Chains A and B, each alone.
Chain A
């Protein structure tokens, strides 16, 4: 059973009055992550909206020790900190339970710039959790395309719409043979909470990716962050799944879509609510462009359905 909202703990690791835009999915998700991790954790960040949102010295928005590291280095930096706390414990200079070492990194810092160091940390199976809050673009620098930007989406570097599909980063992490991989999104806080609680209890490398609809980059109305997250799941554009020791299972409501019990909503409504797509859907090729977006989604659902059958 998924943890209900009323069962979530009271602790707040994201403090009110931070620097993020109103309606930002990053603090929204991080609040839930914080409830699962508790205060005994060390947070690492790479350049991103989450860093810009930390606020101004001498105040800090996140209620953990925070380390800002170079863009490419989330994997290696977190590995180093995780090693350091273990050695401090061995030497008796750190008492009690070891803090959870985790990265809070954007899609730019995960899919693209940080991929090599992250891949290496996964291959070493270092004891960290890497969170990717995926707003499908480099939002902090004014919305440029990333490897997570879906086909057909406007960014400042894809003014005519991105021509390539996004990569399946969570699956790439799974193929590193790490003990835990999960996907989540802000509309389903109980699902996210349970996945983080599970990840915290597993030694080794954990990867959790959270779809994070950004009203500024995606060009929808500010109050619609959660709606957009829900529509992404209901249309199958985002699949909720987790894999323990390589075995994939789908979570509700994605499990109904993947198993065919329920049809995914057509992608049209999701796409038409977002300026990043709909601004390019005014010409005579609009139907073909939507069909391409739908095709990518259908292909991913079919692929993940088959991939999940491999359990060896």
Chain B
């Protein structure tokens, strides 16, 4: 049998922003009050977009879709959803 030597390369590669700058979808922006935050990481674990830094609890607004799951799940009420301009 003839051996196949041609290498087939995929056309897509893992990269952030595959859906574009999804931060532009937001109507409300999650804002963390660091004084109230206990660093429990619940917001980090539930964020569907993986945009929360688990140690600093900072948010990458370029991709955060503003879904509000983090604010809803935060046990200390440290995250408020503020209307975008």
B-contacting residues of A (Cβ < 8 Å)?
5-6, 8, 10, 12, 14-28, 31-32, 53-65, 186, 189, 222-227
Contact = CB atoms under 8 A, between A and B. Distances in A.
B15 A15 contact: yes
Interface residues of B, number: 39
A261 B4 CA distance: 62
B72 A226 contact: yes
A17 B68 contact: no
A28 B48 contact: yes
Pick the 4 closest A-B CB pairs, nearest first: A55-B18, A223-B68, A22-B67, A19-B19
B41 to A, nearest CB: 5
A60 B10 CA distance: 10
B67 A14 contact: no
A216 B12 CA distance: 28
Nearest to B81: A223
Given A17-B19, A23-B67, A223-B71, A31 B12 contact: no
Nearest to A230: B73
B54 A20 contact: no
Interface of B: 10-23, 25, 40-42, 44-51, 54, 60, 62-63, 65-69, 71-73, 81
A16 B69 contact: no
A277 B21 CA distance: 34
Contacts of A56: 18-20
Q: Is the interface of B mostly helix, strand, loop or mixed?
A: loop
A126 B25 CA distance: 42
B51 to A, nearest CB: 5
B11 to A, nearest CB: 6
Q: Is the interface of A mostly helix, strand, loop or mixed?
A: loop
A59 B15 CA distance: 5
Given A8-B45, A19-B18, A22-B66, A58 B13 contact: yes
Contacts of A58: 11-13, 15
